[in-house]
């Protein structure tokens, strides 16, 4: 399939619009003052402001966010990491009720507000509703529970985590994956459809609990169905996307329908590899480009995301890597991007046997 490269959708003007921007004028002035005395602060500021996506809802979203999924770090570690990430300069945080760490993250956010590091209006915070909470009444309860845990009055973006409805357990999603005696996931028998779930998502916008709504892990076919009945169009489709899984067709559909793409696992989940997973950051082509441009393999991969008009949510608890991931410098040329697009390795790092014992994705 031919590579699809959409037109740039980054917002580089009107950055002081306090109604829509996640970085209001007061904070921007503070950052500019810091940039005057620190080259590092200047690079960070330029990098962040130059890579901001405008959603179809009118709100702006920083293209480089901080991912909070971890199956190895404790909730308290992630809460501290979020506080550290705010200090470093992240303003976009990707959360989910299924990650089981929103309460700790809420404490980290509250601490950052209390210490004067940032104001709520300067942050873009995403969360997601889990598969056991797809029934309309459970969508509302799940969202309110997330807001309570995060200690917020609203989230900026709320997503349907997966296009699957499972048996309801409880508001805390325990167990996270309901299974029968044979170990198969118990699918919902309530009759709830994705359209029912989406109608509940739209009501969250109406009630002011969320600013924008979207989906995650949806195919182009599922998106086409959703767009056909949506009163509020999905602002985002969060999918796994990187040079090993470029998602050309899905990205093309999203661009045609003004749906922004947020890429998870943009670095190939180097801290969460399973048997058979390739080490994408050690790919010879990626390593060569990193050496030639004097940047890290992670920065090569993140600039690929930016060049494709995507947002990305890398995760690291290391401050060095946090800073590195945020400093996206425009150093890759057309040949570099073409070399990344020409990679033939294809691999999906996240695929679960969640459909009656079968994998979610066919590829």
Residues that are catalytic: 99
Task: Give just the sign of the alpha carbon dihedral 239, 167, 206, 108.
Answer: negative
E-assigned strand segments in the chain: 52-54, 60-62, 66-67, 92-94, 124-129, 155-160, 210-216, 236-240, 260-264, 311-312
Residue 234 and residue 226 in contact, taking contact as beta carbons nearer than 8 Å: yes
**Is the bond leading into 175 cis (omega within 30 degrees of zero)?**
yes
- What backbone torsions phi and psi does residue 214 show, to the nearest 5 degrees? -165, -165
Instruction: Return the HEC string of 129-196.
Output: ECHHHCCHHHHHHHHHHHHHHHCCCCEEEEEECCCCCECCCCCCCCCCCCECCCCCECECCCCCCHHH
- Among residues 159, 93, 151, 106, the alpha carbon closest in space to that of 128 is found at 159
Report the relative pairing of strands 155-160 and 210-216 from DSSP bridges: parallel
Question: What DSSP state is assigned to residue 239?
Answer: E
List alpha helices for 238-354, DSSP H. 248-256, 284-293, 297-307, 319-326, 334-341
- Separation CA 123–CA 126 (nearest Å): 10
Residue 140 and residue 185 in contact, taking contact as beta carbons nearer than 8 Å: no
Cα-Cα-Cα-Cα torsion 162, 63, 264, 229, nearest 10 degrees, comes to 20
Residue 49 and residue 17 in contact, taking contact as beta carbons nearer than 8 Å: no
- How many CB atoms lie under 10 A from the CB of residue 251? 24
* Centroid of chain to Cα 205: 19
- Among residues 92, 73, 67, the alpha carbon closest in space to that of 313 is found at 67
């Amino acid at each position: 399939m031919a590579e699809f490269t959409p037109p740039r959708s980054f917002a580089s003007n009107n950055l002081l619009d306090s109604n829509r921007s996640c970085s209001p004028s007061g904070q921007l002035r503070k950052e500019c003052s810091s940039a005057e005395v620190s080259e590092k602060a200047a690079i960070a500021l330029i990098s962040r402001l130059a890579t901001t996506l405008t959603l179809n809802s009118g709100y702006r979203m920083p293209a480089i966010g901080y991912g909070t999924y971890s199956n190895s770090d404790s909730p308290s570690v992630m809460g501290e990491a979020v506080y550290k990430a705010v200090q470093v300069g992240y303003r976009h945080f990707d959360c989910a009720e299924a990650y089981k760490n929103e309460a700790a993250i809420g404490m980290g956010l509250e601490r950052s507000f209390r210490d004067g590091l940032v104001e709520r209006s300067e942050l873009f915070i995403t969360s997601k509703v889990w598969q056991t909470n797809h029934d309309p009444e459970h969508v509302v309860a799940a969202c309110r529970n997330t807001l309570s845990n995060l200690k917020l009055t609203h989230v900026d973006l709320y997503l349907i985590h997966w296009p699957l409805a499972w048996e309801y357990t409880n508001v805390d999603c325990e167990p996270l994956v309901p299974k029968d005696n044979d170990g198969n996931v118990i699918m919902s028998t309530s009759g709830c459809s994705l359209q029912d779930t989406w109608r509940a998502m739209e009501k969250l916008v109406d009630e002011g609990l969320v600013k924008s709504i979207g989906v995650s892990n949806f195919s182009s076919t599922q998106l086409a169905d959703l767009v056909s009945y949506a009163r509020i169009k999905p602002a985002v489709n969060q999918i796994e996307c990187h040079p090993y899984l470029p998602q050309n067709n899905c990205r093309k559909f999203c661009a045609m329908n003004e749906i922004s793409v947020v890429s998870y696992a943009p670095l190939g989940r180097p801290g969460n590899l399973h048997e058979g997973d390739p080490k994408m950051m050690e790919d010879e082509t990626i390593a060569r480009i990193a050496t030639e441009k004097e940047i890290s393999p992670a920065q090569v991969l993140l600039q690929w995301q930016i060049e494709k008009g995507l947002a990305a949510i890398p995760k690291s608890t290391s401050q060095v890597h946090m800073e590195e991931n945020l400093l996206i410098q425009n150093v890759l040329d057309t040949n570099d991007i073409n070399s990344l697009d020409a990679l033939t390795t294809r691999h999906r790092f996240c695929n679960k046997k969640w459909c009656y014992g079968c994998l979610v994705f066919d590829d």
